[in-house]
C-alpha cells in the first residue's frame, strides 16, 4: 500500500462532444474527464494535462485514492479508465470513480514478478518464465489498496505453475476470483522448458530407444 497522497485539481465543464474535447486538449492544455459513482450524478470535468501526466508516471496513482478538487470541492476518487492515443504519448479522456472510505471496492492491481533470473527453474534448469496474467482483481477498503502484489518465483522449478492461492496478499485484501471458489484459482505464472532443451531431451530419448 502506498503512503503517498495524490491530489488533482479539476474544473467543471458544461460542453461535451468530440469537438469540445479536441479544443480542450489543443487550446487549453486540458484533458476532458468524467467523475461518477456514489449517490451523485456523473459530472463532466477537465484536468490539467501536465499535472495528470506527471501523476501517471507513478504506478501507485493507478491504484490509490486521489483527492480530486473540483472547483474547490474535494471528492475521494480512483482512476477507473484512461483513453490514450494508440501510438503517441497523449491522453484523450480520463474516468474517475467516487469511493467511500468505509465501503469495499474492486480494483485491478499490477503484479510484480521477483527473483525471475535467480529462480531454480531458470538459473539451474534452463527454463523461461511465462507470465500468464499481469494484474489481479482484488476487493478491499480504499485505504488498503496495494500499489502492487509480488509474485516470488525463487523456488519455482521447470514445469511448475504459480496460482493465485500461492500469492501472499496484504492484510484486508482479497482475491475476487478466489471468492468465487477454488475452481477459480487462476494460473499466474509458470516456468517452462525452452524449445532447445525440449528438443535435446527428445533426441536423448530417441537415442536411448535405439540402443
Q: Residue 151 is placed in which grid cell?
A: 509474485
Tell me the per-residue pLDDT of 94-142, one tens digit each, with 9 for 90 and over. 999 999 989 999 999 999 999 999 999 999 999 999 999 999 999 999 8
pLDDT for res 22: 65
pLDDT for res 5: 82
Across the chain, mean pLDDT equals 87
Beta bridge partners of 33: 45, 94
pLDDT for res 51: 92
Distance CA 9, CA 45 (A): 10
Distance CA 113, CA 97 (A): 28
202 pLDDT above the threshold of 50:
no
Distance CA 60, CA 65 (A): 9
Any idea what DSSP says for residue 86? S
Q: State phi, psi for 139 to the nearest 5 degrees.
A: -125, 130
pLDDT for res 21: 59
Domain boundaries, the chain: 6-98, 105-199
pLDDT for res 91: 87
Tell me the per-residue pLDDT of 156-187, one tens digit each, with 9 for 90 and over. 999 999 999 999 999 999 999 999 998 999 99
pLDDT for res 38: 87
Q: Which residue has the cell 503512503?
A: 3
pLDDT for res 24: 66
Do 136 and 149 contact (CB within 8 A), yes or no? Answer: yes
Q: Which three-class secondary structure state does DSSP give residue 204?
A: helix
What is the domain class of 6-98 according to CATH?
Answer: mainly beta
Q: What is the dihedral of CA 52, 58, 61, 67, to 10 degrees?
A: -60
11 pLDDT above the threshold of 80:
yes
pLDDT for res 69: 96
Residue 30 confidence class, pLDDT cut points 50, 70, 90? confident
pLDDT for res 85: 78
Tell me the per-residue pLDDT of 89-103, one tens digit each, with 9 for 90 and over. 788 899 999 999 899
211 pLDDT above the threshold of 70:
no
Could you name the CATH architecture of 105-199?
Beta Complex (2.170)
Lowest mean pLDDT among 66-70, 84-88, 104-108: 84-88
Parallel, antiparallel, or unpaired: how do β-strands 91-98 and 30-36 relate? parallel
Amino acid at each position: 500500500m502506498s503512503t503517498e497522497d495524490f491530489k488533482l485539481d479539476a474544473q467543471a465543464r458544461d460542453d461535451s462532444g468530440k469537438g469540445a474535447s479536441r479544443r480542450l486538449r489543443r487550446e487549453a492544455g486540458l484533458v476532458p474527464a468524467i467523475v461518477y459513482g456514489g449517490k451523485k450524478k456523473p459530472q463532466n470535468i477537465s484536468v490539467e494535462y501536465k499535472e495528470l501526466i506527471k501523476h501517471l508516471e507513478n504506478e501507485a496513482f493507478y491504484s490509490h485514492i486521489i483527492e480530486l478538487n473540483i472547483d474547490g470541492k474535494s471528492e475521494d476518487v480512483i482512476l477507473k479508465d484512461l483513453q490514450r492515443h494508440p501510438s503517441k504519448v497523449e491522453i484523450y479522456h480520463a474516468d474517475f470513480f467516487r469511493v467511500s472510505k468505509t465501503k469495499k471496492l474492486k480494483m485491478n492491481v499490477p503484479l510484480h514478478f521477483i527473483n525471475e533470473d535467480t529462480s531454480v527453474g531458470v538459473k539451474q534448469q534452463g527454463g523461461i518464465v511465462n507470465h500468464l496474467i499481469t494484474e489481479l482483481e482484488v476487493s478491499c477498503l480504499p485505504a488498503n489498496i496495494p500499489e502492487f502484489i509480488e509474485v516470488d518465483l525463487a523456488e519455482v522449478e521447470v514445469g511448475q505453475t504459480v496460482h493465485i492461492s500461492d500469492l501472499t496478499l496484504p492484510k484486508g485484501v482479497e482475491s475476487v476470483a478466489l471468492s468465487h471458489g477454488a475452481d477459480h484459482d487462476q494460473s499466474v505464472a509458470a516456468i517452462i522448458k525452452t524449445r532447445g532443451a525440449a528438443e535435446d531431451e527428445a533426441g536423448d530419448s530417441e537415442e536411448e530407444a535405439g540402443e
